[in-house]
Amino acid sequence: MTVRPITPEALRARGPIPRHVAIIMDGNGRWAKQRGVPRLLGHHAGREAVRDTVQGAVALGIEVLTLYTFSTENWERPKSEVQGLMTFLKRVLREETKELHRQNVRLRVIGRARDLSPDVRDVIDGATDRLAGNDGLLLCLAISYSGRAEILEAVRCLVAEAGSRPVAPLKVDEATFESHLMTAGLPDPDLLIRTSGERRISNFLLWQLAYTELVFDDALWPDFRRQNLFTAVAEYQGRDRRFGRVVTVAPPA
């Protein structure tokens, strides 16, 4: 039996579209291993998944799409793989910027920029500047990113701002703390998708995911497409988001 594809129009008619979707793109290495090819080819294959997912997010009207691109832990991988990934990242950003611009996409990168080589930072800055005038989907790439490191850095900034003055704990509220995070100004993710069947968040957006709906997709990342995104959004729309509150229904008159 042929399964009818989900359309953006059907999803918008069905219920609210998440403003912010975050994705842990997992499974590139396993995809390559299954095919007996080098791991780096798995990352290359994931490029089409990114392209199609971005197009799907644009079609849905999602405001922010955050992709876990490279974690701080990934620096511990073999040097040849890391170098290959950085070279691939530069190439993709150079080659995809024109298409992103055509789709009215903006770009933002979060993570420890100091970990990246100057040539990588230059390419990121060039793509970000090229897309800065757009007002559509914000594509946020987490590169050399760690949720714990982000929180520690925010604390360090708050302490540094206090200087020698005593810190008044009651004045450090959630809004103040969030303004020091790398995602300052962005809504928290409504939906997190992790591919490859793994069920963990792997040090990703630890503060921001407090009330995020989690969806786990068994597809390896190179096989992920916009229909996977649409299916996850449909599941999200079926969730009862109470944010810790009890929702009472008024009795009939």
What are the residues facing 140 on neighbouring strands? 66, 108
Residues with a catalytic annotation lie at: 26, 74
186 within 8 A of 137, measured Cβ to Cβ = no
Name the residue among 68, 91, 87 with its Cα closest to residue 79.
87
Amino acid at 51: R
Pairwise CA distance, residues 194 & 22, whole Å: 9
Calculate ∠ Cα 185-189-191, nearest 5°.
160
Q: How many CA atoms lie within 13 A of 136 on its CB side?
A: 15
Find the helix or strand (DSSP H, E) in which 144 lies. Answer: strand 138-145
- Sign of the Cα torsion 105, 111, 112, 117 reads negative
Q: In this structure, what token pair is assigned to residue 55?
A: 């197009």
What secondary structure does DSSP assign to 179-227, as a single string? Answer: TTSTTTTSPPPSEEEE-TT----TTSSTTTTTT-EEEE--S-GGG--HH
What is the C-alpha to C-alpha distance for residues 216 and 200, in angstroms, rounded to an integer? 9
Query: In the structure encoding, which two tokens stand for residue 180, read together?
Result: 């020091």
- Retrieve residue 191's tokens: 């939906």
